[in-house]
Structure 1
Amino acid sequence: MYADCGSIDAATQVFFLIDRPNLFSWNILLTAYAQNGHLDRAAEIFARMPERNLVSSNAIISAYAQAGQIHKVLSLFTTMLQKDIISWNVLLKAYGEQGNATLAKEVFDKMPEWDLVSWNAMIAAYALCGHIGKARSLLGRIPIRSVLSWSCIVQAFVQHSGDLGDAREVFFEMPEWDAASSTAIVTLLSQQCGLEQAQEVFNGMQHRNVTAWNAMLLVYIRCGHLEGAESVFHSMPRKNIVSWNSMIHFHVQNGNFESAKRMFLSVPEHDVFSCTDMITGYARVGLLKDAVKIFSEMPESNVVSWTAIAAAHAQLGYTVEAMDLFDRMAERDVVAWTMLLTTHAQAGKITEAKTLFDQMPERNSSSWNAMVAALAQSGDLEAAKSLLDRMPHHSVISWNSMIAAYGRLGYLEEAKKLFDRMPEHNLVSWNSLLAGHAQNSRKAEDLFASMPERNLVSWDSMLAAYACEGNARATARMFERMPETGLISWNLVITITARAGHGQATLDFFRLMNLGGVLADEITFTGVLTACNHLGLLAECWEFVLSMSADYHLAPAMEHYCSVVDILGRSGQLKNAEEIIRQEEEEQGSSSGAAAWRALLAASKMQKDGARAIRSARSVIRLDGGKSLPFIVSVGL
């Protein structure tokens, strides 16, 4: 009784109170130690036994099998004078659990008989080694199949194949679903974002453990379904650290930092995964001190957390500190090296980035891509092309970086040649080539028409091609054809119509943008204020400037006030215009006022206010170091 309850000490005390323990008593004690993982004591009891039988031998080989000591299992098995199906099954399962399907099959073929445990053990051995075809074939030969037999096949598909179709076929052939197979199929569906099918399986489960709940949670997370993920999370009868970490990671990756923070503060315990996610989250919202605090309070850290805190410093401009953290890392993997390389590249330190690249003990495709992109973006196309040719495996990302760089610098023929050399193209490849043709709408039109697929970036690139040529009508027509629009789309059509003098059309587009729920930014308002300027709408112009901060939480820049200054100046309100400039110079700094003073200078000359024109000219010269002298001469000063 004590042995069955796991109370080995009590069982031992009872055993030694027996005057002359018989073989049955010895076997009970041996089995107690064997089943509870006390291998050394089990071996000691086995050696002290005055006599042994088949039960004794099966108990000790099971203990060695449980400990993974296959050589001891085989040694004892070969010396056993008597063996039964339990003995054979122990050896069979031992080989299978070691991942040796070949030896497991040899044992299986030698067995004098098989029971359901034997069949399931052989199927499990094949499944563990990824031999799914052999496992399915064996499943068809079983005289009587159990749920475990089917479950092994389903789990094999999940772990080794990833083939959802075959896994579902086997799963739905099962006479009944167990927790293991249901959880396995839900896990596979999460990788394929099969939300409806996963929900069907999950709802059909009679018993759901925390692993099953976590698998369903992961389905919603991988499908980007925030509401569904939160519903599953809050419905869980029991949560573990995996549940909490999954939700924290989901919120951080989707920019829901406040939600991630609330959840992090509610977690019963923090581990390296949740802390690392929060370091990334704090960095993304610019709270470096909080990220450092999380890192310093971590119970343990690893190379991922060290990389995260170093990346946090790098992203916020603290390159020296990022380098210092990198130097202090106990271990560095290729991700850490690539992070530091990218940090230097983004800071324009191409020489330092190249030095790091040369020092890397190992490189992956991300490392090569980062270095190719850095060289290309710096304009060193020859070095970038040379590195691209040296890459052991060209990825579409590296090709796209080069095409984008050639296009940006105007080398369109080279971009097209590189595009034609690519073994395969993705949408980014096409968009990179299209963006390079933004200065030539005719060629851009031909390329756009030949694209096998398009997304919003493709349409925006074509829109930009018309806008760059100043073709407001073509831009508006293209805009109306777009299947979807985004902020860039609206800004392009608003800006080009404003510059072309179609002020009313600009304001109409702005109203439609608001009705569509697209939030305007600083570029939008530059176009809107330009339109107001052309139409002479002084009151509306000023209302839009005030609305920027009151309704959109945007800080008006000097370029926005320039429109107000220009329209005030042309309406003869030069004094008010000058007061606005001086007020903004005090708030934003004198270096930002040259454009506004030029606008006031032109207006003062037009209104024949010589004194104000001279003051404006002096301010312009003071602010831009004489760069505007040709303009000042052109207005007659």
Structure 2
Amino acid sequence: MNSLINQSFQTKTTHFARRFTYSVTFAEITCLKHEESSTLFDPPKFFSTHRMSKHKSVRNTKVLHAHLLTTGALRSNIFFTNSLLDWYCKSGAVVVARKLFDAVPLRQVISWNIMMSGYNHNSMFQKSWEIFCGMHLLGFEPNESTYRSVLSACAALQAPIWRASLFPYNKKGFISNGYVRSGMMDMFAKSCSFNNALRIFFDVSCDNKVCWNVIISGAVRNGENWVALDLFRQMCSASLFPNSHTFSSILTACTVLRELEIGKAIHVWLIKCGVADVFVDTAIIDLYAKCGCMHDAAEKFSQMTVHNVGSWTAIISGFVREDDSVSALEFFKDMREVGEEISNFTVTSVLAACAKPGMIEEASQIHSLILKLGFCLDVTVGAALINMYAKLGEVGLSDLAFSEIKNSKDQGKWAAMMSSFAQNKNSGNIVELFQTMLAQSMRPDSHCISSVLSVISCLNLGRQMHCYCLKSGQVTDLSLGSSIFTMYSKCGCLGESYEVFEKLPQKDNVSWTSMIAGFADHGHVDRAFQLLKDMLYQEIAPDQITLIAILTACSARCILPTGKEIHGYVFRLGSGTNTVVVGALVTMYSKCGRLELARKVFNMLPQKDPVACSSLVSGYAQNGLIEEAILAFNDMLLLGVEVDSFIISSILRAVALLNKSSIGIQLHAFIVKLGLASDASIGSSLVTMYSNYGSIEDCRKVFDQVEKPDLISWTAIIVSYAQHGKGAEALATYELMRKEGIQPDSVTFVGVLLACSHSGLVEVAFFYFNLMVKDYGIKPGHRHYACIVDILGRSGRLREAESFINNMPLEPDALIWGTLLAACQVHGDFELGKMAAKKVMELGSCDAGAYVSLSNICADVGQWEEVANIRSLMKGTGTKKEPGWSYV
């Protein structure tokens, strides 16, 4: 009952307020009539008295309009009409104002100005421009107010203008008016004609701060940041003290240019002058944050007495940029506690902070907050949600966020979802999403198409996408063109890749690097090196990614001279202390067997980092210098270098070769202490290490601790089971891997065939061999054929093994003939064994095993003269039999 009473009271109060408002207006009109009966009515005095009245609504203006029509006063003086026009425009009734304007027979310039100003006030800038055009065509002479209004409209429209209609102000002397001049410059700056704005600024000397601020902010808006700094210097030289607008613009220019020292000097100046403004302080925080000085940014933030959403967002995004998610979320929590309103920019920064492994709980909490605050309707926030879940590996949640965005035609959300699928290698889903866009009559942009191209491994599909780009006219887009020729490179079609690259109208650093990497990845080091020379000839400086691509190719092919040339160029370029490039140099020298040079380059680093350290450790390990690898790893720990999964994997491979289980167990304990036991790459290395130690039980325990086993992890445990004669377990693990959705590769099938061989499963081996070829399209290599030969040889089917070798599409290598030779020794087939040994020796193998096996076969059948000949032949070729040894 009380609620009904309150509701009734509120309704009556509202009606009373409206009636009171109307009564005031009618009282004014009544007073007007009373004044008419006693003295003459003074319209200018009336409008001047009531121009600031709070009751200047559309209805009240119409009442006054009706009275003026009734009394005939509206026709007697244009002042009444202009006043009514102004009242209508300021009350939002521009349509009524326009009808009144059109009915005026004799308009004045002020009438046109009122209408233009009214349209601008109501954000109807196109209508304002049309009014100006009509005024110009009817021959009315614009004044300063006219130009101020039309310039504001043109600046807001950011569209081409009739400059011939605007430039007459120069002849009329309006150039000296600061408002008109600043409006003209602002219009040109916002329409990307900064040179014209600059010309207008320098036409006449000026000491108006507004003009200086407009031209400086216009320079920053158009990316002319050095020009902005120079203008700021000139302004200071002219003894004009900058205000907060000037400082905000110039600090933004310093931020973009990463000119930290200039920014610090301005900061000191502001402190000395006592300038305190929340927008200037926010610009200072943004400068320090984007230059990586988060300590200074946080200190400045703490000194601010007043914060706004911009300052909070600047400090949060700064910590996100420095990969400090904990601090970013702490500041966001403080922001929420003080009750500061958050913006979509704040939300996107916080979402980026949560896009790290192990932060799914925090991500879910932020997602709930977004739903609570209603930001889920914002397309930018939705795209950030999709990207966050993609980086967390939660594609299902990315899809959920995608479905929550209501605007189904927005390109941003589709591009974000495709990027999510691309990051998680879901090629099927991304192609399906692309087809859905086409079915909905949407035109995918370059970001969507690039995401699709990034996951394509099928040449036929890639060519279809290329055709679509040609048909839609997007092939000239630089980023999209780079994606197309990179796709061809991945598919092994370097000719087509280079053809697309050549046809690009413009090439940037990324496109050159991608093409160089394409040649380098496929072993065409000479072409890659020549392309690097062409790049330098066109005065495009290669970045560290380009140099790493060339050095990686030199490492793969062990091309030391080219690697040294690149090293010399790196030294001249001044990148000799770049840790990533130095890591690639260390790897290159290590792969080329020049460990002393690798160590020398490594020692030149002023600060050792995980990349360079792991390169040195793996270099020692790959060259058989196991103890040196362990010592290098120990030195790295003493230096306090952060340990990552790549370093641990490198040292584990070295320890596995050392066959010292005590060191391996200590290293495993160290890994558990660091919390890295669940890492897939480390788990794979541990499985291999324990397999070499002969402990298959420990292999399984380590594998079970891996949180999300990848293909390498599954392959490692399958091979371990196979090597230890547990064929059934190996095949069961393979089937479990397939159920988990992991696609096997050629190495996986080597493990499967090895398991069949050790378990005597001949028919099963042929089944998997055919499955590999037909279902997965994997071309068998020498190791696969060697496994089949081993299976047939172990089962005594030597002639069938010989026939299998002769019918191979590949030329048999020493491994295959050596496998047959070993089987001949087991089954005592002298003739076939002699032929197999001859093939091994013809292939130039220096392995003593072939000589020993043939010698043993001859000894078994009593061919002692052959045994002596074989021993003599071994001595002649310099082949020596390694003495047997036991670890026990």
Band the TM-score falls in, shorter-chain normalisation: 0.7 to 0.9
The residue number in structure 1 matching 2:88 is 95
Of the three residues 294, 301, 310, the one matched with 2:300 is 294
The residue number in structure 1 matching 2:282 is 276
The residue number in structure 1 matching 2:448 is 429
Report the residue type matching 1:404 in the other structure: S
Q: Tell me, yes or no, if the aligned pair for 2:390 and 2:420 is still in contact at 8 Å.
A: yes
Displacement of 1:295 in angstroms is 3.4
The residue number in structure 2 matching 1:142 is 139
Distance in 1 (alpha carbons) for counterparts of 2:155 and 2:643: 62
Distance in 1 (alpha carbons) for counterparts of 2:667 and 2:136: 86
State, as a whole percentage, how many aligned pairs show the same letter: 16
Displacement of 1:449 in angstroms is 6.0
Q: What SS does structure 1 have at the residue aligned with 2:276? A: coil
Pick closer, same or farther for the CA change 1:238–1:136 going to 2, 3 Å.
farther
Pick closer, same or farther for the CA change 1:99–1:516 going to 2, 3 Å.
farther
Distance in 2 (alpha carbons) for counterparts of 1:154 and 1:295: 38
Distance in 2 (alpha carbons) for counterparts of 1:636 and 1:259: 70
| 1:48-67 → structure 2 map (5 Å cutoff) | 57-65=43-51
The residue number in structure 2 matching 1:584 is 636
Q: What SS does structure 1 have at the residue aligned with 2:51? A: helix
Distance in 2 (alpha carbons) for counterparts of 1:183 and 1:493: 53
Report the residue type matching 1:65 in the other structure: R
Q: Tell me, yes or no, if the aligned pair for 1:538 and 1:564 is still in contact at 8 Å.
A: yes
Report the residue type matching 1:149 in the other structure: T
Q: Tell me, yes or no, if the aligned pair for 1:404 and 1:432 is still in contact at 8 Å.
A: yes
Of the three residues 402, 417, 421, the one matched with 1:406 is 421
The residue number in structure 2 matching 1:219 is 218
Pick closer, same or farther for the CA change 1:90–1:622 going to 2, 3 Å.
closer
Q: How many residues align?
A: 577
The residue number in structure 1 matching 2:378 is 364
Displacement of 1:493 in angstroms is 1.8
Report the residue type matching 2:334 in the other structure: L
Report the residue type matching 2:231 in the other structure: V
Displacement of 1:49 in angstroms is 14
The residue number in structure 2 matching 1:121 is 114
Of the three residues 140, 149, 154, the one matched with 2:151 is 154
Distance in 2 (alpha carbons) for counterparts of 1:380 and 1:563: 33
Displacement of 1:365 in angstroms is 0.7
Pick closer, same or farther for the CA change 1:441–1:270 going to 2, 3 Å.
farther
The residue number in structure 1 matching 2:181 is 182
Q: Tell me, yes or no, if the aligned pair for 2:109 and 2:141 is still in contact at 8 Å.
A: yes
Q: Which moved more, 1:362-371 or 1:409-418?
A: 409-418
The residue number in structure 2 matching 1:495 is 552
Pick closer, same or farther for the CA change 1:158–1:448 going to 2, 3 Å.
farther
Distance in 1 (alpha carbons) for counterparts of 2:110 and 2:592: 87
Pick closer, same or farther for the CA change 1:201–1:326 going to 2, 3 Å.
same
The residue number in structure 1 matching 2:354 is 344
Pick closer, same or farther for the CA change 1:565–1:408 going to 2, 3 Å.
same
Pick closer, same or farther for the CA change 1:280–1:240 going to 2, 3 Å.
closer
Q: Tell me, yes or no, if the aligned pair for 2:593 and 2:623 is still in contact at 8 Å.
A: no
Displacement of 1:364 in angstroms is 0.5
The residue number in structure 1 matching 2:253 is 250
The residue number in structure 1 matching 2:165 is 170
The residue number in structure 2 matching 1:549 is 606
Pick closer, same or farther for the CA change 1:632–1:497 going to 2, 3 Å.
farther
Gaps of 5+ in 2: 1-30, 457-486, 673-685, 695-722, 724-884
Q: What SS does structure 2 have at the residue aligned with 1:442? A: coil
1:195-220 deviation per Cα after TM superposition (whole angstroms, max 9, x unaligned): 32221122224646222211211222
1:574-629 deviation per Cα after TM superposition (whole angstroms, max 9, x unaligned): 998876554333222696775776798799x8xxxx9xx89977776665685534
Pick closer, same or farther for the CA change 1:555–1:205 going to 2, 3 Å.
farther
The residue number in structure 1 matching 2:203 is 204
Distance in 1 (alpha carbons) for counterparts of 2:628 and 2:615: 15
Displacement of 1:230 in angstroms is 0.8
Q: Tell me, yes or no, if the aligned pair for 1:202 and 1:216 is still in contact at 8 Å.
A: yes
Displacement of 1:241 in angstroms is 0.9
Distance in 1 (alpha carbons) for counterparts of 2:91 and 2:284: 38
Distance in 2 (alpha carbons) for counterparts of 1:492 and 1:335: 36
The residue number in structure 1 matching 2:330 is 321
Of the three residues 547, 554, 563, the one matched with 1:506 is 563
Pick closer, same or farther for the CA change 1:346–1:139 going to 2, 3 Å.
farther
Q: Tell me, yes or no, if the aligned pair for 2:115 and 2:131 is still in contact at 8 Å.
A: no
Distance in 2 (alpha carbons) for counterparts of 1:459 and 1:433: 21
Q: What SS does structure 2 have at the residue aligned with 1:270? A: coil
| 1:303-322 → structure 2 map (5 Å cutoff) | 303-311=309-317, 316-318=324-326, 321-322=330-331
| 1:38-77 → structure 2 map (5 Å cutoff) | 57-65=43-51, 70=56
Pick closer, same or farther for the CA change 1:519–1:493 going to 2, 3 Å.
same
| Greater C-alpha Rg | 2
Q: Tell me, yes or no, if the aligned pair for 1:376 and 1:401 is still in contact at 8 Å.
A: no
Distance in 2 (alpha carbons) for counterparts of 1:636 and 1:498: 35
Displacement of 1:229 in angstroms is 0.8
TM-score by length of 1: 0.75
Gaps of 5+ in 1: 1-43
Distance in 2 (alpha carbons) for counterparts of 1:243 and 1:386: 45
1:43-96 deviation per Cα after TM superposition (whole angstroms, max 9, x unaligned): x9xx99998667x54144124325676457777784689664444433333434
Q: Which moved more, 1:360-369 or 1:105-114?
A: 105-114
Report the residue type matching 1:410 in the other structure: K
Pick closer, same or farther for the CA change 1:630–1:468 going to 2, 3 Å.
farther
Pick closer, same or farther for the CA change 1:520–1:239 going to 2, 3 Å.
same
Distance in 1 (alpha carbons) for counterparts of 2:148 and 2:427: 57
The residue number in structure 1 matching 2:269 is 266
Q: Tell me, yes or no, if the aligned pair for 1:434 and 1:444 is still in contact at 8 Å.
A: no
1:516-559 deviation per Cα after TM superposition (whole angstroms, max 9, x unaligned): 56676322112212233345556643442233218xx9788422
Q: Tell me, yes or no, if the aligned pair for 2:580 and 2:611 is still in contact at 8 Å.
A: no
Pick closer, same or farther for the CA change 1:343–1:545 going to 2, 3 Å.
closer
Distance in 1 (alpha carbons) for counterparts of 2:39 and 2:575: 82
Of the three residues 518, 524, 549, the one matched with 2:581 is 524
Q: What SS does structure 1 have at the residue aligned with 2:639? A: helix
Pick closer, same or farther for the CA change 1:513–1:416 going to 2, 3 Å.
farther
TM-score by length of 2: 0.56
Q: Tell me, yes or no, if the aligned pair for 1:470 and 1:500 is still in contact at 8 Å.
A: yes
Pick closer, same or farther for the CA change 1:384–1:356 going to 2, 3 Å.
same
Q: Which moved more, 1:264-273 or 1:429-438?
A: 429-438
Q: Tell me, yes or no, if the aligned pair for 1:61 and 1:73 is still in contact at 8 Å.
A: no
Pick closer, same or farther for the CA change 1:416–1:464 going to 2, 3 Å.
farther
Pick closer, same or farther for the CA change 1:431–1:505 going to 2, 3 Å.
farther
Pick closer, same or farther for the CA change 1:57–1:238 going to 2, 3 Å.
farther
Q: CA RMSD in A?
A: 4.4
Pick closer, same or farther for the CA change 1:59–1:503 going to 2, 3 Å.
farther
Pick closer, same or farther for the CA change 1:125–1:556 going to 2, 3 Å.
closer
Pick closer, same or farther for the CA change 1:227–1:292 going to 2, 3 Å.
closer
The residue number in structure 2 matching 1:30 is none
Pick closer, same or farther for the CA change 1:545–1:127 going to 2, 3 Å.
same
User: Per chain length, whose mean CA-contact separation is higher, i.e. which structure has more relative contact order (CA < 8 Å, sep 6+)?
Assistant: 1
Displacement of 1:232 in angstroms is 0.9
Q: Which moved more, 1:92-101 or 1:76-85?
A: 76-85
Pick closer, same or farther for the CA change 1:538–1:462 going to 2, 3 Å.
closer
Report the residue type matching 2:379 in the other structure: S
